[in-house]
Amino acid sequence: MAYIGRALVQGNYVKLDDLQSQFNGTKTTFNLTSGGASYTPGSANTLLVSLGGVIQEVGTSFTVSNNQITFSNPPTADAQIFIIALGNSVTIGTPA
Length of the chain: 96
Question: Is residue 71 within 8 Å of 81, Cβ to Cβ?
Answer: no
- Give the per-residue pLDDT at 11: 64
- Give the per-residue pLDDT at 93: 60
Indicate whether this model's pTM tops 0.75. Answer: yes
pLDDT, tens digit (0-9, with 9 covering 90-100), for 31-86: 999 999 999 998 899 999 999 999 999 999 999 999 999 999 999 999 999 999 98
In this structure, what DSSP letter does residue 39 have?
-
Given a cut of 60, whether residue 96 has pLDDT beyond it is no
Q: Coil, strand or helix: which one is 53? A: coil
Rounded to a whole number of angstroms, the distance between the first and last alpha carbons of the chain is 43
Cα separation, 25 vs 35, in Å, equals 25
